[in-house]
Amino acid sequence: MGEALQQALADRYDALSGSLRDRLISFVLAAFDGLSSLRDADAIEFLDRVVPVVVATQAQMGQITDAYLSAVMADMLGTTAAPAGVELPEALRGVPPEEVYRRPFVQTWTELADGKDFLDARSIGRNRLLSITETDLQLARTHAAQQSMSRGGARYFRRRLSGSKNCALCTIASTQRYRVEKLMPIHPGCHCKPEPLPGNQDPGQIIDEQLLTEAHAAITRGIGSSDPGGRAPDYRQVIITREHGEIGPLLAVRRQNFTGPDDIPAA
């Protein structure tokens, strides 16, 4: 495996996917901010303008993810990179995108009905829109990655942290190995990327003991207790994966006990 090439591929992919995400978010938020009001007619205008761009950008995210992972696996195996393309449904969540992107308006109307002033209600709806847009692009990435890695013969993968700042959920989860047949767990605002692990032998659940130890040390400084051995408390039992009705596997902490679909916060 060429470490320099792997890093160059990762850097290029991060730049492309980051640019794609930033452009879509800017477009979607500008479209929302530019509405004269947030009535039904405005929602229809917004959906007509935004949904086709969202779906096209998700497809682009799938394409660049497939190209990146095909190149990574080719380098690992010493073969020629041959991205074959991925097929992403418009309804990645199993729900029509028109319904999903109408939710910020419903959120705004709900806040107004609860007595909030228009600016506050609009801000809450806008934040909901931001979360939806980021989450949908991450879903496009994880679905494309699963198809690409399965086609390339990979059996295991890790989540690679993105950027210089990462949340505790992602940091601890990145020390674990995952099976390709399972989608990478995400959470709203997650920018991690799946990365295939070389070989077909199971490397074991924990693949980065040093980072896990550093995470425990940080937790010790924050809450006053931890265990460098990772067993008391066992943070794999604290940071877990829950199944979200639309998003799929979702990183969560054990105290987030969802009792039904209506209790799960929809991104």
- Distance CA(265)–CA(133), nearest Å, equals 15
Residue 230's pLDDT is: 41
Confidence label for 165 from pLDDT (cuts 50, 70 and 90): low
Q: Where are the domains of the chain?
A: 1-153, 155-267
pTM of the model: 0.79
Task: Give the lowest-confidence range in 5-9, 156-160, 175-179, 252-256.
Answer: 252-256
Confidence label for 143 from pLDDT (cuts 50, 70 and 90): very high
Q: Which residues of 217-228 are buried (b: 16+ CB within 10 A; e: fewer)?
A: eebeeeeeebee
| Beta bridge partner(s), residue 239 | 253
If one counts every other C-beta atom within 10 angstroms of the C-beta of residue 48, the result is 10
Residue 221's pLDDT is: 61
- Distance CA(196)–CA(20), nearest Å, equals 22
The pLDDT tens digits of the residues spanning 41-79 come to: 999 999 999 999 999 999 999 999 999 999 988 888 777
DSSP 85: -
Residue 262's pLDDT is: 43
The pLDDT tens digits of the residues spanning 19-40 come to: 999 999 999 999 999 998 899 9
- Distance CA(59)–CA(55), nearest Å, equals 6
